[in-house]
Amino acid sequence: MENNEIVKLARAKAEKWLDKAYDEKTRAEVKRMLDNTDTGDLVESFYNDLEFGTGGLRGIMGAGTNRMNIYTVGAATQGFSNYINRMFPNEKKAVCIGHDCRHNSRYFAETAANIFSANGIHVYLFEDLRPTPEMSYAIRELGCKGGVILTASHNPKEYNGYKAYWDDGSQLVPPHDKNVINEVKKVLVTDIKFEQAPGMITILGKEFDKKYLDKVKTLSLSPEAIKKEHDLKIVFTPLHGTTYELVPESLRNWGFTNIYPVPEQSIPDGDFPTVASANPEEPAAFKMALDLARKIDADLAMACDPDGDRIGIAVKNDEGIWTLLNGNQTNIIFTEYIIRRKKELGQLTGGEYTVKTIVTTELIKEIAEKNNIICYDVYTGFKWIADVIRKEGGEKFIGGGEESFGYMPGAFTRDKDGVSATSLMAEIAAWTKMQHKTLYSFLKEIYAKYGFSQEKMIYIVRKGISGAQEIKAMMEEFRHNTPKEINGSQVILKKDYLTLESTDFRTGEKTHLNFETTSDVLQFFLADGSKISVRPSGTEPKIKFYFEARAQMKDTNDYERAQQEANARIDDIIKDLKIQ
């Protein structure tokens, strides 16, 4: 489409927003864009519509159809209300609403609460910002039909988002995700019921926090270790987000007495002033926490992202140098610890299971299976982990996670849980210290026991229509012209999640992948134990490559050599694929 046609389309859509159905402030902002000779803002705000996807909404805040504002939030809420009322016609209905520290999050949360109430749905609204996992827990605890959290996770400060949840506390999965999307698409601005219905909103406060934190404490497996090592020095940063109170409170509730929050980052602030990115996956986000950790000679440093679902962990290596664990390593530690302690406590009676996403390290599956634990593979996203729990029940669930710094150690939430995960990781640190070990040495012990695994993710950005076509062509090339070998190692297995077909190249046998929906993901398993996963991003103009390489370790002293060997193999694979 030519540029003048794009401007014309954006202008036509914007002029509709001058209608009296929109508030005065919004109309003034739209008029400013229409009158501006520079049409950049106009096009960005109106050319596209901010789509309600399978995870909800996420976008830059401002006026316009492609922006987060009370009208896009309003349409999402009205559509979600219509669906809940259709699905539960003769029942009392309630939803839970939470929000993070971002600009407009409270405003959007209250707007959503008013709309739900006007549609005859009772609302439990948290009094102030709260982490995503507590909202997920509240849905189940309060018997709600759904829930909403207003958050854009660790996106830049200009963004906000709206995540929708179903009655089991997980994000929407089929068929509800597509059905809600269809309802939202039908909504006109004049359909949105913005006026709050009296007596339909209940505020949740500190008394509910206590209920949640007491539930988190039930995950403890080594209270005797905490009793002995209660003065473990723990540094924590909420990165200006929702866990500024709850994580320190949870740690104290578990019995820890030496907690050092990073003062400058314990102030909720939607501008995230002390970090370039409020993402615990980014090493730079840990700078202030590690500065404090070195100053006080801490035992452990941890971070949560602004909505409190992801965690980052930093530990001291054998030389006393602070090292950041990646998401796979964190998951490995959780998996081995939970299985080992439950086995020692006689809590494994058969049928227990763990869940990981398909791009997460295969080492977790090996740890599980060598201990007679079932391991399920699911697509990226905790809604799919929750979907397994929905089918298998929560009693035998011993934890689930993904490589992008998320873990869920209990079934009482149905999303990744930074509050539970930080508490449990602190316990593991106390447990290792009681045995005169460290978290770092425990990780090396796991590798020595099961084999070393190194992971790396890279992505290639291709913008615009031509970029999207190039990414599609890359996926098709890998799909239909699979290399016979990569870096000198035979490709023995291909899994194509778009066709749900697995091909064993050693036998030629094709088998069906047992997934309910398809996804544009390809995986190649090599004879040397390497795994390569390829998928286009669903939200950005990127194609992502996940690499995993294996190496054997003689003992814990062999860690550095194994790491170098595996890293070199990944580098060689990348060179052979010619993707950089």
Let me know if 136 is a catalytic residue. no
* DSSP label of 539: S
Amino acid at position 233, single letter: K
Pick the closest to residue 359 from 532, 171, 536 (CA basis): 532
Helix axes 132-141, 206-217, angle to 10 degrees: 90
d(CA 172, CA 168): 10
How would DSSP label each residue in 291-357? HHHHHHT-SEEEEE-TTS-BEEEEEE-TTS-EEEPPHHHHHHHHHHHHHHHHHHTT---S--EEEEE
Does residue 431 sit in helix, strand or coil?
Answer: helix
Which residue among the candidates 81, 117, 136, 153 is catalytic per the annotation? 153
- Give the distance, in angstroms, between the CA of residue 429 and the centroid of all CA atoms in the same chain: 24
How would DSSP label each residue in 454-515? EEEEEEEE--HHHHHHHHHHHHHHHHHS--SEETTEEEEEEEETTTTEEEETTT--EEE---
Peptide bond between residue 223 and the one before it cis (omega within 30 degrees of 0): no
Record the tokens describing residue 63, joined without a space.
């006026």
The residue behind tokens 């012990």 is 445
**Count of CA atoms in the C-beta half-sphere (13 A) of 242:** 34
Does residue 116 sit in helix, strand or coil?
Answer: helix
d(CA 306, CA 83): 29
Element (H, E) at 162: strand 159-166
Residue-level length of the chain: 580
Element (H, E) at 60: strand 57-60
Pick the closest to residue 285 from 239, 328, 244 (CA basis): 239
Task: List the catalytic residues.
Answer: 153
